[in-house]
Amino acid sequence: MDAGVWRGRSVLITGHTGFKGSWLALWLSESGAKVNGFALPPNSTPNHWDLLRLDASDNRGDVRDFDRLSSVFARTRPEIVFHLAAQPLVRRSYRDPLETWSTNVLGTANVLEACRRTESVRAVLAVTTDKVYENREWAWGYRENDPLGGHDPYGASKAACELVVESYGKSFFQADDAPLLASVRAGNVVGGGDWSEDRLVPDLVRAAATGRPLEIRSPQATRPWQHVLDCLRGYLMLGAELLAGNRACAEPWNFGPDAADNLAVEEILRRLKRYWPDLDWRRTADTRPHEANLLYLDNAKAKAKLGWRPAWNIDQCLSATAQWYKHYYRTGRVISRQQLDEYRLVSKRIKAACRHTEFGATVAFGNRVQQDPGVSLRAAAG
Ligand SMILES: NC(=O)c1ccc[n+]([C@@H]2O[C@H](COP(=O)([O-])OP(=O)(O)OC[C@H]3O[C@@H](n4cnc5c(N)ncnc54)[C@H](O)[C@@H]3O)[C@@H](O)[C@H]2O)c1
């Protein structure tokens, strides 16, 4: 991805006050974009958005309020929209299903409708999740063409977002001058600056700050863990393709970690403790509502077609996360810019390796190694 792609572009991020949205706003603003946000106020104190103090247009509102949302589209005239605003928590979705369904589904429809009515918009990424797939407790990863489904209101509402996206794509975004629209499904994202409720790392950080052990209810639940910057690099690479008018990219994409980084909760804790010895936890009886045990994402398509791959493995991801929180609690300051710079250096090396892949022969395909189907096409195209 050429960093120059973003210079001077008007970008709208919904959910910029949240964990992922604030990192995305940082990355885009460091890349020279004009960053505009639309979201509710941050939901914790402290929070990453306020700590970053970015020079961005910070608009507050509810994605269910179409008039307010439209007025921000009209004023900011974005070329690309990253739609992240959502009720993203599984347990909260059991407590408040209607808020979850309305925010996630109606909110997505409102954003896509605003995109349809705003002439400047050329590309849209709708962020869903790994939980959109009908979970079969498979020991292998879900692919983009596997059936959608959902058990808890969060996963099901995000699967419904996928239908909204597909419907808008087919009904309204087919014309040559229509925006290109894609959905993106990432894994369990970790990194500094997340203080959400009911998420493993933030819960652990809060417990450590108060000197108490964290109670772990599903130590064997396995998830596709990845650093927030890996997932965002996928969004940005895809966004650049959509802005370049690459129609083949206007479809769903998984951006998950490599298979080796699909780990059980307790293994994540053990590894995190290497970088943050103060962390402590204990197992307790599982009294929570249903959540999947096994959940993997197949990232082969993004590797083969976009040349994306994770730049940090799970240990680099956990080490950076521990370093971020330890530094924050020691100094009150964030090291997000430094971490972004470090990450970008590593990802440049990955890009060089991918260039080799494009003209070479093989890429890792899930657990197998196969011919990259894109290679022969690209080679044929010169
Ligand atoms: N964090 C993860 O591990 C993960 C994994 C897969 C997918 N996702 C998806 O990524 C996106 C961002 O997640 P996050 O982890 O940053 O969550 P977060 O809770 O930190 O941020 C959510 C953002 O959405 C905004 N928001 C919520 N309800 C809103 C409403 N009604 N109107 C306007 N704004 C509203 C919040 O203000 C906040 O800015 C979500 O769509 C989530 O489903 C997250």
Ligand 1 neighbour 196 (Cβ under 6 A): yes
189 pocket-lining for ligand 1 (C-beta < 6 Å): yes
For residue range 153-167, list pLDDT tens digits in order.
999 999 999 999 999
CB 183 within 8 A of CB 324: no
Residue pair 91/244 in contact by the 8 Å Cβ criterion: no
Instruction: Say if CB 12 and CB 81 are below 8 A apart.
Output: yes
Q: Give me 143's structure tokens.
A: 């692919």
Beta bridge partners of 57: 36
pLDDT by residue (tens digit) across 19-48? 999 999 999 999 999 999 999 999 999 999
Give the C-alpha separation, 228 to 187, whole Å.
9
Say how far apart CA 190 and CA 229 lie, in whole Å: 9
Q: What pLDDT does 371 receive?
A: 33
**Whose Cα sits closest to atom 34 in ligand 1?**
39
Which residue has the least CA distance to atom 5 on ligand 1? 188
Residues in the chain: 382
Domains and CATH numbers, the chain: 3-285+292-380 (3.40.50.720)
Q: What is the DSSP letter of 132?
A: G
For residue 93, report the phi and psi dihedrals to the nearest 5 degrees.
Answer: -65, -30
Which helix (H) or strand (E) segment holds residue 232: the answer is: helix 228-243
What stretches in the chain show pLDDT beneath 70?
1-3, 286-288, 353-382
- Helix, strand and coil in the chain, % to nearest 5: 50, 15, 35
Residue of 157, 150, 6 lying closest to 88 (CA atoms): 157
Asked if residue 295 has its Cβ within 6 Å of ligand 1, the reply is no
pTM higher than the cut 0.75: yes
For residue 67, the model assigns a pLDDT of 98
